[in-house]
Structure 1
Amino acid sequence: MSISPPRSGYTLPVFACASAIASLQHLHGENELNSVTFNLLEPPEAITIAIEQVARLNPDAALAITRSEPGDNLDLTRNTPIWALVERKTGNQEIEIEGGEGIGIQVDNGGKSAIYSYAQRLLQENLRPLLLPQESLKVTIILPEGKKLATRTSNAAFGVVEGLSLLGTTGISQPLSAPGQLEIFREQLKILSRRFDRLVFCIGENGLDLAPQMGINPDILVKTANWIGPMLLEAQLQGISEILLFGYHGKLIKLAGGIFQTHHHLADGRREILTAYAAKMGLATPHLQQIFDSSTSENGLEYLRQLDGQTGDNWVERIYGEMANTIDRRCQEYVYNHSNGHLRVGCILFDRSRSLISKSENGLKFLQNLQVTP
């Protein structure tokens, strides 16, 4: 059966770059700017992005605005405005890029703006050919809604506060949360099921990168994004005997609460689930209140680690061990309840620094069967 792929869009760095190019071109005298065309670099192709507004603020500064279009994705940045303020000065064609209002701050990296390497490269390589001799630029990227939108993300768990990140390694926004993407994931799983009877489900890019570093064969890795429940059912249907779930604890923790579509637009409950399992393991009420009031599940984990350091206890091991084994059990029950079939499921959870937190009993056996050192 032929499957029409969902429509892709572009990542935030692309719209930031388009706004910056429009601002610079306006400073150079182009007044009728409805769109700009430039190279995505990753992939190396030319695209055209619509410009909503552009205005000169003074003879050496201009501001342009684009709007995010991420394609067929459940993406909270859809239609958000991206501003670029470009200020020119005399110099040796240097380009300084900084984050303004709504661009996140990296708390673990000296407070630098969360404008990562692809975004930096995209801006530098597309703006530099447009510079006049002896012209240098200061480019400030602004997301007016960034601070508000960031409260609905897990950015803080990864050390980014006060706004959104210009993140990613490509200009294409893959529609991982669109229903059509699930069908593509299923087709990929069907192909792999002809070669392997054990597979590793990775929720995101961190898992796909970390698993091979542990010695896991990259050929058995399957990206699921947030479609964990449907992908488990598909694995059982295709005759897979065993699945290892490998992912960030802030995602997989939801499975311990019976949530099998993990996109934050649809369900959350991470702090509540962590608090419930801490209570089950006997943690005292004042500590439960601290975990429940944590801003993120990552902060809840850090609180438990600090508590272990102060008391010499092993709350992290006990609580996360219980959650990991429950994740296995609930996943197996989910598959049986929806298919009357059996699928062995194990899991491994890691934190924002990609350090392993916990392996379930089944997860440990899975690694041993692969002859991977836990």
Structure 2
Amino acid sequence: MNVEDMRGGYTTGSCATAGVKAGLLALIEEEIVDQVSIRNPQDAFIVVPIAKVEVLSPTEAMVTVVKDGGDDPDVTHGTDIVTTVTLNQSGTITYEAGFGVGTITKPGLALPVGEPAINPGPRTMISYVFDELVPKGTGIHVKVSVPAGETLARKTLNGTLGIEGGISIIGTTGIVKPMSEEGFKNSLVPQLRVMKEAGYTTAILVPGRIGQEIAKEQLGISINQMAETSNFIGFMLEQCVKIGFKNILIIGHIGKIIKLASGSFHTHNRMSDGRMETIVAYAALEGASQQVCEELMDCRTTEAAMPIIEREHLEGIYQRVADRASLRSMRYIAQDANVGIIISTLDGTILAVDEVAKKIGEEESWHIPCMS
């Protein structure tokens, strides 16, 4: 299915905003609705269905909206977003994180520490509803709850970012665009901002769980100093430079890092996959025969090539991969930061460490093993 043919949806922020509007309509205009139209920060209007409206008292209503992410692979798709709106005499809007909605515990995000993780985009949309419906001098208290929020938060980066207790209520446009690569990439950047605000001067980039475990268990690096990159290593290198990091360490499986050595910085298999070609080239530089090179070329993965590499005593390939990945990474960001590389096997065995990584490790007093 093409992206153009895929169905869009709406964000958790739109769900909460719709809940506020439906609740206020029930309280102020005594109207129970099954859908509302809300305005986003770009002045577009979004129609959101309402699953349930409960008037709890003359001043309090609770509204349930079922999150619809469209055809986007969203962990919150299909979950209930429950918004309780309470009228008061404050003249302003206050917010509360109900069950399953996180609270900010680290600086570096768009909201101060201690605030409910109801992001600026949704707050802007809620303010439009407030201005539209609430009489002058009256205020509202907005509590957003997500019954499945604590469980869903484990599938997000919230723990790394310092958002504790549940998910974030998010959305800069209120609309979910299916399969948005730019949106996913941008969702990774706050990890770096939080890291910088925490005082770290070296950024650790980990494409996945393998690199994270090595950094934590073998090198003694705090989880707070790591940022996941997914396949967007080049993008995250650029963001590290933009945010001001001068030292960067990339830790990951050779199957991912070898792509950097060949100059590919978007590492999804559809975008780049010259793993075996690179291994064969380095094997030849290590003195491998044509027969061995052909045997390596027939391997489908880097792990499958390892027994051949060991049998033929070609382990120098690993150091070449680490050294070249470091060189190409620094070229990618125009030498604006030092980039060290550590590569490993699937089981976390470290295969090679380049000189830049060793130097960074010495400066940070990490336990990087000396590789022969």
- Provide TM-score, normalisation by structure 1: 0.57
Q: Report the CA distance shift for 1:95/1:84 in structure 2 as closer, same or farther (over 3 A).
A: same
| Match of residue 100 from structure 2 | 102
Match of 2:213 among 252, 275, 298: 275
Match of 1:112 among 110, 115, 118: 115
SS at match of 1:4: helix
SS at match of 2:55: strand
Q: Matches of residues 1-374 of structure 1 in structure 2 within 5 Å? A: 4-42=4-42, 44-91=43-90, 93-108=91-106, 109-176=112-179, 204-205=185-186, 249-250=205-206, 252=207, 254=208, 270=209, 272-276=210-214, 283=218, 298-299=223-224, 301=226, 320=249, 323=252, 327-329=256-258, 335-336=273-274, 361-362=324-325, 364-365=327-328, 367-368=330-331, 371-374=334-337
How big is the shift at 1:155?
0.9
State the Cα deviation string for residues 244-287 of structure 1 (Å, max 9, x = none): xxx9834x2x3xxxxxxxxxxxxxxx1x44435788xxx49xx6
SS at match of 1:118: helix
- Asked if the contact 1:324/1:360 (under 8 Å) is kept, the reply is no
- Asked if the contact 2:54/2:61 (under 8 Å) is kept, the reply is yes
Q: Report the CA distance shift for 1:3/1:148 in structure 2 as closer, same or farther (over 3 A).
A: closer
- Partners of 2:190 and 2:166 in 1: CA distance: 26
| Amino acid aligned to 1:33 | V
How big is the shift at 1:337?
5.8
- Partners of 2:332 and 2:85 in 1: CA distance: 57
- Partners of 2:72 and 2:127 in 1: CA distance: 28
Point out the structure with max Rg over C-alpha: 2
State the Cα deviation string for residues 303-339 of structure 1 (Å, max 9, x = none): xxxxxxxxxxxxxxx9945638763315659613689
- Asked if the contact 1:147/1:162 (under 8 Å) is kept, the reply is yes
How big is the shift at 1:207?
6.9
- Partners of 1:17 and 1:123 in 2: CA distance: 5
Q: Report the CA distance shift for 1:275/1:137 in structure 2 as closer, same or farther (over 3 A).
A: closer
How big is the shift at 1:68?
0.2
How big is the shift at 1:84?
1.1
Q: Report the CA distance shift for 1:56/1:370 in structure 2 as closer, same or farther (over 3 A).
A: closer
How big is the shift at 1:136?
1.4
Q: Report the CA distance shift for 1:210/1:98 in structure 2 as closer, same or farther (over 3 A).
A: closer
- Asked if the contact 1:202/1:208 (under 8 Å) is kept, the reply is no
RMSD: 4.2
Q: Percent identity among equivalent residues?
A: 22
How big is the shift at 1:299?
4.8
- Provide TM-score, normalisation by structure 2: 0.57
How big is the shift at 1:57?
0.6
How big is the shift at 1:125?
1.6
- Give the gaps of 5 or more residues in structure 1: 186-200, 212-246, 255-269, 292-296, 303-317, 344-358
State the Cα deviation string for residues 346-373 of structure 1 (Å, max 9, x = none): xxxxxxxxxxxxx974354454477452
| Amino acid aligned to 2:256 | I
How big is the shift at 1:167?
2.4
Q: Report the CA distance shift for 1:324/1:14 in structure 2 as closer, same or farther (over 3 A).
A: same
- Partners of 1:202 and 1:171 in 2: CA distance: 13
State the Cα deviation string for residues 184-216 of structure 1 (Å, max 9, x = none): x7xxxxxxxxxxxxxxx99601678999xxxxx
The number of residues matched between the two structures is 255
- Asked if the contact 1:13/1:171 (under 8 Å) is kept, the reply is yes
| Amino acid aligned to 2:274 | Y
| Amino acid aligned to 2:100 | G
SS at match of 2:167: coil
Q: Report the CA distance shift for 1:202/1:46 in structure 2 as closer, same or farther (over 3 A).
A: closer
- Asked if the contact 2:105/2:162 (under 8 Å) is kept, the reply is yes
- Asked if the contact 2:67/2:80 (under 8 Å) is kept, the reply is yes
State the Cα deviation string for residues 73-96 of structure 1 (Å, max 9, x = none): 1111111111111111234x3222
Q: Report the CA distance shift for 1:168/1:338 in structure 2 as closer, same or farther (over 3 A).
A: farther
- Give the gaps of 5 or more residues in structure 2: 107-111, 193-202, 228-246, 282-321, 338-372
SS at match of 2:20: helix
SS at match of 1:249: strand
State the Cα deviation string for residues 129-185 of structure 1 (Å, max 9, x = none): 201233211111111211121122221011111100112322111222xxxx6xxx7
